Copies of this chain bind each other. A is one copy, B any other.
Amino acid sequence: MDQKKTPLFEALKNHVQKSPFSLHVPGHKSGTVFSEKALLYYKEILSLDVTELTGLDDLHEPTGAIFEAEELLSNLYGSYKSFFLVNGSTVGNLSMVLSVCGANDTVLVARNCHKSIMNALKIAGAKPVFLSPEFDTDVQVPTLVHEKDIIQAIEQFPNAKAVILTNPNYYGHTNELENVITYAHGKGIPVLVDEAHGAHFGVGQPFPESAVKSRADIVVQSAHKTLPAMTMGSYLHFQSDFISLERLEFYLKSLQSSSPSYPIMASLDLARSYLAEIKDQGVTELYNQIKEYHRHLSKIPQLSIVVPRDKKIVQDPLKILLQSRSSLSGYELQSLLEKNGIYTELSDALNVLCILPLAPQDLKRFTRRLGQVLAGVQSLNEEKRIVEFNKLESNFPHSYFELKSKKEKLVKIEESINQLSAETIIPYPPGIPLILQGEVITEAHLDQFMMLQRLGARFQGNGSTKNINIYDCD
């Protein structure tokens, strides 16, 4: 197939070039009705912001330009069928989970999954078995669930409806999934992969391969995160012998706007073509430039580029995790950069994550400025270790469906042992849930909780108080 083609973008452009007169939605009428003060930013895009007119196809029943654009997408990644998503990877994750499980069904789920996976499990009413990722004490972040832990869980729960993994994680740490997928398929269990941060995978060595290549049943990618697509634009790839395509399509149709955004959809078409071109030309120039940034950054004594100890984990070259080697915390480092006009992706107590562009681009302004702003800061030789995170047993005795009918009550934290938590507590670092809603709270949980509090971790959820919500099981 001719990957240079962008059928949806062309169809829109053809429509615009007719100077059509709009007596239909949207209300801005191709930008002729709009706030004057914002027209500079919006004027051109609004001409593409139309509805399902003749020739522009329909995302939810594609037969024309969108059908063709999705075929090109499927062809590029090598899936059986691929979909444009306009509600981010969130809707991809929701749809893939809901298409494999319902009330009381057991599923095996990586504990470091995105909250959209957790929300999907709640909506489905499923009974999750959580698999803990490894914690890398150098990088001071959770990496990925170990292959042997996944296989062991499959042995223990042969009736599980699916294995649900995040790969790569937010930091670009990536595992080869082929063994796990082959093993799961041998047991008749599908593997769903949230590959939100890996839409550019498969572009060529040394970039990792996509889980589509490893035959994962469904793979969801945020095109907008690393490819040149508008925010909320994502892809979903399907190639399963175990999952009903009809059921998946029901959720994709139900959970996405019946008026999907054409600017976002056309940007997905353009991004696919852009990626195909890079794949065609090779990534040598891009990778050489990334190595040069590494050289520049490694000369800054107040920083260190950190990658996982586990040699099996491949680091996505587009992500650089900078660890502070000074008195500055990761938060302070990020804030200092922002004051100098440089905006990074995230920070934690130790680290700042940078996402590089997928095209050779002059980042000297960044590396030079970084060196300058840190020049006055005293560097420290030793690494700062903040957290020793223990993997804890997870005991999740009821399904989310059963939990729906239980009442909650607030108790003192020391009275919560052996009770069912009605809330989720996520410490940063390490950024994965310490206690998940529905899990039995143990003494080990509380020990870890207090240790993290002492070490200055921040908490999402109720972590700062002395009380916790539990399910009242009397």
Contact = CB atoms under 8 A, between A and B. Distances in A.
B45 A41 contact: yes
Interface in A24-81: 24-29, 32-35, 37-38, 40-51, 53-54
Contact of A254 (B88, B94, B259, B342): B94
A129 interface: no
A358 B33 contact: yes
Interface in A207-253: 222-232, 250, 253
User: How many chain copies?
Assistant: 2
A231 B259 contact: yes
Contacts of A254: 94, 116, 119-120, 122-123
B270 A34 contact: yes
Given A23-B355, A88-B258, A270-B35, A44 B46 contact: no
Contact of A44 (B9, B44, B335): B44
- Centre residue among A42, A89, A119, A345 by max chain B CB count within 10 A: A42
A27 B197 CA distance: 10
A145 interface: no
A34 B257 contact: no
B23 A343 contact: yes
A274 B34 CA distance: 8
Given A27-B357, A224-B25, A116 B258 contact: yes
Interface stretch (A14-22, A414-422, A425-433): A14-22
Nearest to A115: B258
A262 interface: yes
Contacts of A464: none
Contacts of A102: 404
Contacts of A227: 27
Interface size class of A (residues with CB under 8 A): 35 or more
Interface stretch (A153-161, A359-367, A446-454): A359-367
Given A44-B43, A222-B259, A23 B90 contact: no
A9 B38 contact: yes
B361 A32 contact: yes
Contacts of A255: 90-91, 94, 255
A188 interface: no
Contacts of A6: 35, 37-38
A103 to B, nearest CB: 8
B87 A46 contact: no
Nearest to A52: B346
A231 B401 CA distance: 35
A304 to B, nearest CB: 17
Contact of A26 (B38, B46, B230): B230
A171 B134 CA distance: 57
B32 A224 contact: no
A114 interface: yes
A436 to B, nearest CB: 15
Nearest to A277: B35
A23 B345 contact: yes
Interface of A: 6, 9, 13, 18-29, 32-35, 37-38, 40-51, 53-54, 86-91, 94, 98, 102-103, 114-116, 119-120, 122-123, 199-200, 222-232, 250, 253-264, 266-267, 270-271, 273-274, 335, 338, 341-345, 354-359, 361, 365-366, 401, 404
